[in-house]
Structures are given as C-alpha cells and as structure tokens.
Structure 1
Amino acid sequence: MTHGGQHTPDDDRNGLLANAVEGYLLARTHQDRARREAEDLCARMPWLTTAQAEDVTRHYLHQRLELTRRMLLDTVERAAQLRQEYEDRYAALRHDLLKRHAACAAAVVACASAVTTLAWLLPR
C-alpha cells in the first residue's frame, strides 16, 4: 500500500504478515489433505489395529509432508534460478539496446554535421 505515493515500513510488515498467514494456511491445507489420505489408506486396510493405523497415519503424514516440503524448496530454488536468468537476459538486452541507441545517435549527429557542412560549403 502507498500513502500519498509513499512506501511505508507498515506496508512491508503487512506484506510479510500476509505472506506468513498465507504460508500457514497453505501448510495446514497440505497437512489436512495428507491426514485424509492417510485415513483413507488405513480405511482400506480394516485388519489394522487402532495402534497400527495410527502408526501408519503418522508415518504417511511424515513422508507426505517431507515430500511436499522438498517439492516446495525445489520450486523456490528453480524460481530463483529463473529470476536470475531473466535478470541476466534483461540486462544483456538492455545493454544491446543502449549500444544501438548510441550508434543511432552517433549516426544522426554525423549526418547532421555532414548536412551542416554541405549547407555551409555549397553557397560559396
């Protein structure tokens, strides 16, 4: 948020808080989904005792959440790599564009100088 066109520290804190809340809710959603999957798995194995079902659920939750964590970390890492690649490409394109503009400006100045010189020499 901006206040009168100004960025404030409260904006940063609010953004960080919103990101933290969103992350928490996302983590809870994944955990709830994993728990439902584990319960569905145990329901398909009616021969498990209550203790065994709880053990399977606990192991499944741990494995599933670890997998989700690794996938998210891989995604964050890849996003950082892509960001760097795009920034590098943008810098190269910008540098090339500036060189072209400088060359065009030099050509315009050279043409203007030639026209001015001709205009000055022709009447004589």
Structure 2
Amino acid sequence: MDERPVDAGALINELEGHLLIEATRGEGRAEAGRFTRQFGWLTDSQRVEIEERFAEAYVALAGVSWRRTVQRGAELRGEYEGAYRVLRRRLVAGWLVGMGLLSAVGVVVLSLVRP
C-alpha cells in the first residue's frame, strides 16, 4: 500500500469530474433518444448507432466547452490579479502619502505650539 497521505481535495475533484462526465453522458443519451425519435423510418440498429454517435459527439462538445471555460477562467484570473496588484499598490502609496502629510502637518502644528 502507498504510504503517501491522501489529498482529499484532489480526490473530491476527481470524483466530481467522474460524476460530471457521467451526468453529461446521461444527458447525451437522453438528447440522442429525443433526436432519433423524429425519424420513425430508422431501423432499430440504425437508431442505436445514431444515438451512440450523437451521445459521443455530445460528450466531446461538452469537453471542448469545459476546456474553453477553464482557459477563460485562467485568463480572467490573471487579469483580475493584475488589476488587484495595481489597486493595492495605489492604496499603499496613497496611505504612505497620507501618513507623510499627516506627519508633516503634525510637525508644523507642534512647531507653532512650542515657541
């Protein structure tokens, strides 16, 4: 048995992935059935073959969509992290300028109060 600790997060992600794929396969099969019902002239073997191909294409298209979503999410994350860094720098710079001004005003006030 492997002595490495189990990464619960990775295990959950893998399980969710399997469940998502199975749910998509089920949706694909259901859509394939609805699609082939409109063709009453198909033989049973033709219907089965079309349903299988339709379901495979459905899952493949879902996979493409998921990869695009992941890619766009990564792009957006990079954009927002960049914007966050800029805003954080501005905030820190503003705070430092404000503290500098406050200190300068304090020095001036103290010099005026003490003759």
TM-score normalised to the size of structure 2?
Answer: 0.87
Q: How far apart are 1:74 and its partner, in Å?
A: 1.0
Residue-by-residue CA offset, 1:91-120 (whole Å, 9 max, x unaligned):
111100001000011001111111222233
Aligned residues: 111
For the pair 1:47 / 2:65, whether they are aligned, the reply is: no
For the pair 1:24 / 2:33, whether they are aligned, the reply is: no
Amino acid at match of 2:42: L
In structure 1, C-alpha distance between the alignment counterparts of 2:17 and 2:57, rounded to whole Å: 20
The one of 57, 67, 85 aligned to 2:79: 85
State the partner residue of 1:71. 65
State the partner residue of 1:103. 97
Instruction: Work out the percentage of aligned pairs sharing the same amino acid.
Output: 29
Specify the SS of the correspondent of 2:40.
coil
In structure 2, C-alpha distance between the alignment counterparts of 1:83 and 1:49, rounded to whole Å: 50
In structure 1, C-alpha distance between the alignment counterparts of 2:35 and 2:103, rounded to whole Å: 77
- Greater than 3 Å deviation, 4+ residue runs: none
Q: How far apart are 1:42 and its partner, in Å?
A: 1.9
**Consecutive unaligned residues in structure 2, runs of 5 or more:** none
In structure 2, C-alpha distance between the alignment counterparts of 1:43 and 1:103, rounded to whole Å: 72
Q: Which has the higher contact order (CA 8 A, sep 6+)?
A: 2
Q: How far apart are 1:50 and its partner, in Å?
A: 2.2
Q: Mean Cα displacement is larger for which, 83-92 or 96-105?
A: 83-92
Q: How far apart are 1:48 and its partner, in Å?
A: 1.1
TM-score normalised to the size of structure 1?
Answer: 0.81
Specify the SS of the correspondent of 1:21.
helix
In structure 2, C-alpha distance between the alignment counterparts of 1:80 and 1:28, rounded to whole Å: 25
Superposed CA RMSD in Å reads 1.5
Q: Mean Cα displacement is larger for which, 45-54 or 22-31?
A: 45-54
Specify the SS of the correspondent of 2:114.
helix
Specify the SS of the correspondent of 1:66.
helix
**Consecutive unaligned residues in structure 1, runs of 5 or more:** 1-8
